[in-house]
Amino acid sequence: MKVKQQTLKGFEFDIDEGEAFKEYYTKNAPLIKGHLLILSGNVDADIKTFLDEQNAAYIDTNERTLLTRKKRSTAVLEDVDISEKESVSQTAKRKDTSVYYRTIRSGEAINAQSDLVFFERINSGAVIECSQSVQVFGIIEGLIRCDGEYILLKEIGQGTVLFHGEELDKSQFDGHLKLVKYNKNAIVIKEI
């Protein structure tokens, strides 16, 4: 088996009325064909039959969830209010930590339910998925998806970092160590 990481381009549709969607698709078919269609709203059997006849690739987000990248402009904040008591109690709840002292190679995939620490670079084509916190001290060229309490990193090269489903802005990470937290539905970045 061979695995390759691909970046797909798609079109998102929030469908109110099926006939209007079919008319739009037919009119713009040369532009739309060959791309993934991400459908939400009123996606009925008639629309699915129409798309199947068009040999279109689509996902109904009413039935399945799809991780999409949301970019949000974030600012570096100088002060984050975290009490030491809160920090200690949350650290005590953690189970394990996996530490990697080596480069994560292209094509390598790590899916973890524990905290992760990386001391070397994460190469292009490597995929890291973690439901807990992640610390990266090398440059990131691959893909990281983190849904934990925080992510600690220095530099995002050609890679992508998704924190709670939102893509971090590479320009915010210039080689200085920064703490990224998710606080009240907003990403907060603090230079360490």
Report which of residues 106 and 87 the model is more confident about: 106
3-state helix, strand, coil in the chain (%, to 5): 20, 40, 40
Number of C-beta neighbours around residue 88 at 10 A: 9
- Cα pseudo-dihedral 91, 169, 136, 100, rounded to 10: 110
- Burial readout 14-25 (b: 16 or more C-beta within 10 A, e: otherwise): ebeebeebbeeb
Tell me the C-alpha distance between 171 and 31, whole Å.
Answer: 31
Calculate ∠ Cα 137-188-96, nearest 5°.
50
Is the Cβ–Cβ distance between 191 and 76 less than 8 Å? yes
Strands (E), the chain: 10-15, 36-41, 57-60, 70-71, 97-100, 109-112, 115-118, 127-130, 134-140, 143-146, 150-156, 160-163, 166-167, 174-183, 186-191
Q: How confident is the model at residue 143, as a pLDDT?
A: 93
Number of C-beta neighbours around residue 1 at 10 A: 2
Is 0.75 topped by the overall pTM?
no
Average pLDDT over residues 69-82: 47
Average pLDDT over residues 158-175: 89
Mean pLDDT of the chain: 82
Tell me the C-alpha distance between 58 and 75, whole Å.
Answer: 35
Q: How confident is the model at residue 51, as a pLDDT?
A: 92
Strands (E), 78-142: 97-100, 109-112, 115-118, 127-130, 134-140
Q: How confident is the model at residue 47, as a pLDDT?
A: 92
CA atoms within 13 A of residue 163's CA, in its CB half-sphere: 26
